[in-house]
Amino acid sequence: MEDKKQHVYIIGSKGIPAKYGGFETFVEKLTEYQSDDKIQYHVACMAENSAKSGIDAKNFEYNGAHCFNVDVPKIGPARAIYYDIAALKQAIQIAQKNQDQRPIFYVLACRIGPFIGSLKQQIKQMGGRLFVNPDGHEWLRAKWSYSVRQYWKYSERLMVKHADLMICDSQTIEKYIREDYRKYNPKTTYIAYGTDLEKSRLTASSPEVCEWFKQKQVQPNNYYLVVGRFVPENNYETLIREFMKSDTKRDFILITNVEQNKFYDQLKKRTNFDQDKRVKFVGTVYDQELLKYIRENAFAYLHGHEVGGTNPSLLEALAATKLNILLDIGFNREVGEDQALYFEKSEDSLKARINEVEENHKNFVKERRAAPVAERFCWDYIIDEYEKEYLGG
């Protein structure tokens, strides 16, 4: 009997079940919210990620998806490149063995551009298609050396050149791909990242809530909040420096991982934040219900992310937090629209915003609470858009 399913191979996430990470959460939701049974997902998983969930089988099923583990040697920074290549090769072999009709290979991020040419030929020979998510401007991240940034940019160019479709989770990224690589006449589409819109199941009397707020010495509705990776391009220095100059008596709660982080020491030296009792680094929060509750009970959310597409932590904040104050760049404007307040990186811009919010918080919340997140960024809608794309080609 002929297999009439559309087979979709997902390459580039650490795998499912998702433990953390934007792409991992995306793949988790893509399979969890699947509504069209004409699609069969195949998900590449890093073997060590599966092991954390107690899975050591070479192949397993999760959320109805066929998952296959890929062993990745510990070879330093090139490990992610090795993983994507090995996973895509394995996916091609599975598709060939199963004699899939017009399979789709969806690669998340642009890590393997220099190696994609020959793999694309194999995909083409079986009548398959190569979809790519370009992610954000990885080549702008401060953590990379100049040579690594050059590699990222070169790799991105080759991924765009060979892709049958670029799926961008930001309109700003889509515009960039179309303009910077117009010589390849890339086919692009915009499908946003999604977020969970459900309210936290926890209450003020929940044990984990009581324990966290007591341990961190934080008062509900009396703190500014930021959640995100602790990297320079998220503009922590601007956030901290401007907050410290503001008149607010409230705390600034930073939920981020700073263990063994040189950037943390540099920041402390440059801003002396350790001498301001309002600034509190409280570590990470892996309990998603608790994190949601913390967002819901923030006085306001500060967002300084400058590199990347639709940022998951911003969507979560827009869905949960009463008032959001965002760095004024294209990525953030297209998501926050007129439902957020904005600041510039220039001196005293955020300070002025914070002081303004302190004086007029209720009115700002009232004007901006009908967040656009519910319509455009709920997972049901996002997954429906993906399924249309997979089945429409």
Task: Give one DSSP letter per residue of 354-386, joined into a string.
Answer: HHHHHHHHHHHHHHH-S-THHHHSBHHHHHHHH
- Regarding whether 310 and 171 lie in a shared domain, the answer is no
Least confident of 159-168, 351-360, 373-382: 373-382
Reading the block at residue 244, the tokens are: 């410290």
**Residue 1, in any domain of the structure:** no
- Regarding whether 262 and 240 lie in a shared domain, the answer is yes
- Regarding whether 233 and 180 lie in a shared domain, the answer is no
Task: Return the pLDDT at 286.
Answer: 85
For residue 70, give the CATH number of its domain.
3.40.50.2000
Whole-structure pTM value: 0.85
**Residue 279, in any domain of the structure:** yes
Q: What is the mean pLDDT of residues 180-203?
A: 93
Task: Return the pLDDT at 140.
Answer: 55
- Regarding whether 100 and 64 lie in a shared domain, the answer is yes
**Residue 201, in any domain of the structure:** no
Asked whether the beta carbons of 290 and 210 are under 8 A apart, the reply is no
**Residue 340, in any domain of the structure:** yes
21 alpha-carbon distance from chain centroid: 6
Into how many domains does the chain fold?
2
- Regarding whether 214 and 180 lie in a shared domain, the answer is no
- Regarding whether 63 and 176 lie in a shared domain, the answer is yes
Least confident of 28-32, 166-170, 228-232: 228-232
H helices of 205-260, in order, are 207-215, 236-245
- Which helix or strand (DSSP H or E) is residue 204 part of? none
Task: Return the pLDDT at 190.
Answer: 94
Residue 392: Cβ-neighbour burial (10 angstroms; 0-12, 13-18, 19+): exposed
Q: How far apart are CA 314 and CA 283, in angstroms?
A: 18
Residue 221 has pLDDT above 70, yes or no: yes
**Residue 43, in any domain of the structure:** yes
Q: How far apart are CA 301 and CA 335, in angstroms?
A: 15
Domain of 349 in residue numbering reads as 207-376
> Would you place residue 325 in the very low, low, confident or very high pLDDT band (cuts 50, 70, 90)?
very high
Task: Return the pLDDT at 148.
Answer: 73
- Regarding whether 280 and 148 lie in a shared domain, the answer is no
Task: Return the pLDDT at 92.
Answer: 98
Q: How far apart are CA 71 and CA 82, in angstroms?
A: 10
Within 10 Å of residue 2's Cβ, how many Cβ atoms?
Answer: 6
- Regarding whether 365 and 222 lie in a shared domain, the answer is yes
- Regarding whether 157 and 251 lie in a shared domain, the answer is no
